[in-house]
Amino acid sequence: MSGRRERTRRRGELRLRRRIAPPELDGVAAVAAALDAWAERCGLAEERRRELLLVYDELASNVANHARRASALEIEARTLRSGAAVLVVRDDGAAFDPLARRRPRTDQALDERPIGGLGILLVRELAARAEYARRAGWNRLRIQLHD
């Protein structure tokens, strides 16, 4: 794991960047601890910290477990002047837009539903905004949490 940087920006934002290469669950867990400590230093409320960590864990674990041909996972977290947290997750695996997936049917019994999709549903529910882009061979998912 490399890319340990944290700095205060001129606009009053605090930013955290981490790289996990290769993207494995041990690295995901280590970055989760750093992200939680960063969020606490930023003064995020406990509920917002939990939401940030849930979103991070879902997205980063998905990359570690499912991203084909991914050699690296990068995360960037920052606060906005409004107090909202933004999480950007990037990986260099095969193109995959989780936001394009069909929403799972939650009105069916668990044993009748196809496996998958509930984690991304959770991310969508926690996000004020969610955007996906594929740029220069990288998947980029930007999640802005509610203020």
Domain ranges within the chain, ordered by starting residue: 2-145
Mean pLDDT, residues 43-59: 95
Secondary structure of 19-51 in HEC code, one letter for each residue: EECCCCHHHHHHHHHHHHHHHHHHCCCHHHHHH
Please give the CATH number for the structural domain made up of 2-145.
3.30.565.10
Mean pLDDT, residues 21-29: 97
Mean pLDDT, residues 125-132: 95
Give per-residue pLDDT as tens, 70-95. Answer: 999 999 999 998 889 999 999 999 99
